[in-house]
Structure 1
Amino acid sequence: MVSKLDLYKVFWKVALSKSFSKAAKDLYMTQPAVSQSIMQLERELDIRLFNRTPKGVSLTNEGALLFEYVSSALNLIDVGEEKMLEFKHLTAGQLTIGVGDTISRYYLLPYLEAFHMKYPNIKFKIENGTTLELCSMLKSGVIDIAICNFPIEDTTLEQIPCIDIHDVFVCGEKYKSLFSQPISLDEVVKLPLILLEPSSISRKYVEDYIFSKGIKIAPEFELGSHDLLLEFAKINLGIACVTKEFSQEYIEKGLVYEVPLVEEIPKRSVGVCFLKSVSLSQASKKFVEIIENGQA
């Protein structure tokens, strides 16, 4: 069965060549098949499109008007197909990534640089948010992928762990002398604690672990930024729970000191997250590959 689009392609080619036979040759069709296609289109539109003469064919006034629209439509289809090829070969497009400030600064940047070097024509759009906010953005289609803290309790999301991280407590110079020996979590929670806000996945993970030991937490400060945790600890406002991998600069410079624990908090991970029900774009797939393979 010949589609309406095929009929218009035949019409367009006949109009250009002004001959059924030439159009048939260009389209790798028989001349009777071309003739039948034009007659079918004229029947469906209930209008004559060509003047037929022994020397060939010419467009009627109505046919000339239709030719303008058909030419425009076919050109747009060609442009669309070219754009699809650009997206397929990553010579154009946009990748929207959801990520928190801390993970962006201390983990993601080298991967953004590596991807940009490899695919310079792909544009980045970065959306900031907490892990829970990023999950909502994924489900609403605002972002393609999220780079966030695990674990996430949501069966609709694919989670690919990429780097192990460790939650530790740090302090400033004032408290350093208290920790010549490793201390227990029971002793830690008696000190003025500086934690992230309760809605944070990182805070929930640490709090749940400590609670599993029968210990409750009552923080002195609750902050919305990992960097603020370090700054508050540095000026001796308390003992901050931070991500060790994202605090190396402060620790190595002696701005804060890691509190030795009798029992370390189990490691967790940061990774890539996306909807299971939605196929990733080619750009998203390549970006995930770069992160999974550690190609920063």
Structure 2
Amino acid sequence: MASKLDLYKIFCVVSKRKSFSQAAKELYMTQPAVSQAIMQLERELDTRLFNRTPKGVTLTDEGAILFEYANSAINLIDAGEEKLLEFKNLTAGELKIGVGDTISRHFLLPYLEAFHNHYPNIKFKMVNGTTTEICSLLKSGEVDIGVCNFPLEDSALELRPCIDIHDIFVCGEKFKYLLSKPISMEDLVKLPLIMLERKSNSRNYVEEYLISIGIKVSPEFELGSHDLLLEFAKINLGIACVTKEFSQEDLNKGQLWEVPVKEELPSRSIGVCYLKSVPLSPASTKFIKIIERQQV
């Protein structure tokens, strides 16, 4: 008789493949053995987990709830087994990092290069996501560490700020008349604004600050990436709220100009986060040390 853990592993594969036969191939089992395992689990839980159809299977409502927890647990167990392998002098293993596109491009690349030069046998798995999504990935065991925008409030996570960054407003040629003297935030928000989408931690940080000083913002454009903010500003579609450190190349080339404001936005930071309850793998520890050492 299969152990409870084996039953849950089979359950998760069937849930993903939506087919007993496809799951059997992946698990190197016979289809009857997979069917028996699922029936055993359903008997033990006294709950029907799948709807059987001629085309395959789909999760019941109860099955979908169970899958969410079981899949996270299996991922955490797999992550634990993988971490044991990494103790062999970092000669094998995988470093799974949750990070957004902008931070990858403008902040993380040199540290990835430095780590790879020191530990070429460690593979990278980069999982893209917003700060909120990265937190969920950490808790489900799908990534080892997250590199994201702070501030971040989550008691389950260890937070290690790495670099301060500054939010500024930039414009193209059409709005250069704004450069003559500092403009108030109250007047600035009356202009066509270009900002990130609301799901972005960066956007929320700026918006919450503006609300705290009594200013409500209603952007003309809401975009999904920092690079698009810069491109929209270059063609004079409005004033873009961007990260200064990630916009320096365009500012230095004179393709964009920083709009002076009377009320400067408070600085924030980019940092590394990971679960407090799960020990860092050797690869994760080394990678964080590389980042922190180069920030000194």
Q: TM-score, normalised by structure 2?
A: 0.70
2:229–2:240 CA contact under 8 A, matched in 1: yes
Match of 1:272 in 2: 272
1:170–1:259 CA contact under 8 A, matched in 2: yes
Identity %: 71
1:1-296, aligned counterparts within 5 Å?
A: 87-294=87-294
CA RMSD of aligned residues (A): 1.7
- Superposed CA offset, 1:27-69 (max 9, x none): xxxxxxxxxxxxxxxxxxxxxxxxxxxxxxxxxxxxxxxxxxx
User: Tell me, what secondary structure is at the counterpart of 1:222?
Assistant: strand
Counterpart amino acid of residue 164 in structure 1: D
2:163–2:295 CA contact under 8 A, matched in 1: no
Counterpart amino acid of residue 120 in structure 1: P
Instruction: Give the direction of change, closer, same or farther, for the CA distance of 1:118–1:212 in structure 2 (3 Å limit).
Output: same
Q: Which runs of 5+ in 2 are unaligned?
A: 1-82
2-structure distance, mates of 1:111, 1:217: 36
Counterpart amino acid of residue 231 in structure 1: E
1:93–1:123 CA contact under 8 A, matched in 2: yes
1:88 deviates by: 3.8
- Superposed CA offset, 1:90-133 (max 9, x none): 11111001110000000000000000111111111111111111
2-structure distance, mates of 1:139, 1:85: 21
User: Tell me, what secondary structure is at the counterpart of 1:293?
Assistant: helix
Counterpart amino acid of residue 169 in structure 1: F
1-structure distance, mates of 2:155, 2:86: 33
Q: Which runs of 5+ in 1 are unaligned?
A: 1-82
1:88–1:282 CA contact under 8 A, matched in 2: no
Instruction: Flag the structure with larger Rg.
Output: 1
Counterpart amino acid of residue 263 in structure 2: E
1-structure distance, mates of 2:229, 2:129: 18
2-structure distance, mates of 1:105, 1:197: 19
1:87 deviates by: 2.9
- Superposed CA offset, 1:218-256 (max 9, x none): 110000100000000000000000000000111111111
Instruction: Give the direction of change, closer, same or farther, for the CA distance of 1:220–1:84 in structure 2 (3 Å limit).
Output: closer
1:184 deviates by: 1.1
Match of 2:23 in 1: none
Instruction: Give the direction of change, closer, same or farther, for the CA distance of 1:278–1:223 in structure 2 (3 Å limit).
Output: same
1-structure distance, mates of 2:254, 2:143: 38
- Superposed CA offset, 1:60-87 (max 9, x none): xxxxxxxxxxxxxxxxxxxxxxx95763
User: Tell me, what secondary structure is at the counterpart of 1:147?
Assistant: strand
1:111–1:295 CA contact under 8 A, matched in 2: no
2:184–2:262 CA contact under 8 A, matched in 1: yes
1-structure distance, mates of 2:218, 2:85: 56
Instruction: Give the direction of change, closer, same or farther, for the CA distance of 1:84–1:196 in structure 2 (3 Å limit).
Output: closer
Q: TM-score, normalised by structure 1?
A: 0.70
Counterpart amino acid of residue 147 in structure 1: V
- Superposed CA offset, 1:193-226 (max 9, x none): 0000011100000000011000100110000100
1:295 deviates by: 6.8
Q: How many residues align structurally?
A: 215
Counterpart amino acid of residue 177 in structure 2: S
User: Tell me, what secondary structure is at the counterpart of 2:294?
Assistant: coil
Counterpart amino acid of residue 223 in structure 2: L
1:177 deviates by: 1.4
Counterpart amino acid of residue 213 in structure 2: K
Counterpart amino acid of residue 154 in structure 2: D
1:114–1:295 CA contact under 8 A, matched in 2: no
2-structure distance, mates of 1:97, 1:292: 16
